[in-house]
C-alpha cells in the first residue's frame, strides 16, 4: 500500500527531485519543501503543475509550516556538494541540525514514517573496508569537511533520540556517492565536474594520484532504495550504495570514453580529509529491503552522456 501524502525536504535538489517525481508517479500527494539555494525548480519539470504536487518555498532550519496530515516525511535537505557546504558552513550545520529537528517534529505530529538521508561521510576516512553500519567511523570533527560530516552525524543521533523517547517511526539511510541527471554542473562533485570538463574539451582535474576509490550508485537505483526504506519499518542505519569500487582515475577515463572527448587527465593537489577508500557493505539493505543496485557504472555514465546538458541549475 502506498503513501497518501508525503513531505520531501530538499525536494528541488538533484536527489529530491527524483524522489518527488517517483512518489507522484506512484499516486502519492507530495509537498516539496525547498528554498532553492542549492537547487532549482527546473529540476522538477512537469511535476510542478501536477495536481498531486505542492511547492512550499521555505528554509528547513525554520519550523515547517505544513498544513494537513502527512504519512511520510523524506528529509533530504542539506547542501551536499563541497562547493556548497564550504561556501555556507553554518547553513549546512543548521540544515543538518535544526532542519532534522523540524522534520522529526513534523513526523511526530502526524505519527508519520520519516526517512532521514545521512551519508557515507559519517565514516570519514575509513579504517574498515568495506564499511558496515556497525562501523563508527574515522572523522576529523574540525576539518573543513566536518560541517557536513558532523551535521549528518548529529542528525543520526537526534533521529535515534526521537525514536527512543517518542517512538517516532524513523529510518536512517547512509547514502554513498550517487550520480545521474539533474546534477548541477560546477557543484564540485566528481561526476558533474568530469562531464562539464570533458564536454568543454578541458583537462579532467583529478585530485591527488587518483587511486582513491569511490562506489557510484545511479540515481534511479538509489530512489528505489529510499522508497523501499520508506515502506519498511527498519530504523536503520542502512547503507545504500553500489559496492562496485572504482578509482577516481578510472572514473575520469570512463567519462572521457562515453563523451567521446579528447580531454586528458590533469592531476591537482589532494583535497583535505579526502577519504582514500569508500565502499559500502550492502548486506543489510539486501536482507531487509531486498535491494541492490541494478545499473552498472558503464550504463549509468552512458545514460548521463546522452541526457545531461552542459549546465543544470
Q: Which residues are catalytic?
A: 148
Distance CA 123, CA 56 (A): 33
DSSP 215: E
Pairing label, strands 213-215, 245-247: antiparallel
Query: Which single residue is written with the C-alpha cell 564550504?
Result: 86
Task: Provide the grid cell at 228.
Answer: 523501499
Three-state DSSP at 263 gives: coil
Distance CA 272, CA 274 (A): 5
Q: 130: phi > 0 → left, psi -120 to 50 → alpha, else beta; which?
A: beta
Residue 278: partners with Cβ closer than 8 Å, 6 or more residues away? 120, 123, 126, 131, 176, 177, 212, 213, 214, 215, 245
Separation of CA 134 from chain center: 20
Distance CA 220, CA 222 (A): 5
Residue 252's alpha-carbon distances to 26, 191, 241, 246, 294, in angstroms, are 36, 8, 19, 10, 22
CA torsion sign, 117 to 123 to 129 to 135? negative
User: Quick one: which of 232, 276, 278, 236 has its CA closest to 134?
Assistant: 236
Residue 163's alpha-carbon distances to 106, 154, 170, in angstroms, are 13, 14, 6
305 and 196 Cβ atoms separated by less than 8 Å: no
215 and 143 Cβ atoms separated by less than 8 Å: no
Amino acid at each position: 500500500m502506498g503513501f497518501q501524502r508525503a513531505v520531501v525536504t530538499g525536494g528541488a535538489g538533484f536527489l529530491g527531485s527524483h524522489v518527488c517525481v517517483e512518489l507522484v508517479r506512484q499516486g502519492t500527494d507530495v509537498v516539496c519543501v525547498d528554498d532553492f539555494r542549492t537547487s532549482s525548480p527546473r529540476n522538477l519539470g512537469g511535476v510542478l503543475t501536477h495536481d498531486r504536487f505542492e511547492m512550499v518555498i521555505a528554509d528547513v532550519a525554520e519550523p515547517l509550516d505544513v498544513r494537513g496530515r502527512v504519512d511520510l516525511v523524506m528529509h533530504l535537505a542539506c547542501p551536499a556538494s563541497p562547493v556548497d557546504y564550504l561556501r555556507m558552513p553554518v547553513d549546512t550545520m543548521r540544515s543538518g541540525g535544526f532542519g532534522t529537528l523540524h522534520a522529526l517534529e513534523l513526523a511526530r505530529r502526524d505519527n508519520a514514517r520519516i526517512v532521514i538521508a545521512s551519508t557515507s561521510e559519517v565514516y570519514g576516512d575509513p579504517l574498515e573496508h568495506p564499511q558496515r553500519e556497525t562501523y563508527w567511523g574515522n572523522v576529523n570533527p574540525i576539518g573543513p569537511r566536518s560541517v557536513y560530516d558532523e551535521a549528518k552525524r548529529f542528525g543520526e543521533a537526534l533521529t535515534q533520540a526521537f525514536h527512543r523517547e517518542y517512538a517516532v517511526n524513523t529510518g536512517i539511510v547512509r547514502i554513498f556517492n550517487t550520480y545521474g541527471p539533474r546534477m548541477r554542473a560546477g557543484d564540485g562533485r566528481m561526476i558533474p565536474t568530469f562531464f562539464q570538463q570533458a564536454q568543454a574539451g578541458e583537462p579532467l582535474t583529478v585530485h591527488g594520484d587518483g587511486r582513491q576509490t569511490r562506489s557510484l550508485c545511479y540515481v534511479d537505483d538509489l530512489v528505489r532504495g529510499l522508497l523501499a526504506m520508506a515502506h519498511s519499518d527498519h530504523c536503520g542505519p542502512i547503507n545504500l550504495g553500489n559496492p562496485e569500487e572504482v578509482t577516481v582515475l578510472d572514473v575520469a577515463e570512463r567519462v572521457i570514453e562515453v563523451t567521446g572527448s579528447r580531454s586528458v587527465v590533469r592531476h591537482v593537489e589532494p583535497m583535505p580529509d579526502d577519504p582514500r577508500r569508500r565502499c559500502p557493505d550492502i548486506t543489510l539493505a539486501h536482507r531487509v529491503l531486498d535491494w541492490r543496485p541494478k545499473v552498472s557504472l558503464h550504463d549509468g555514465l552512458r545514460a548521463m552522456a546522452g541526457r545531461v546538458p552542459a549546465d543544470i541549475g
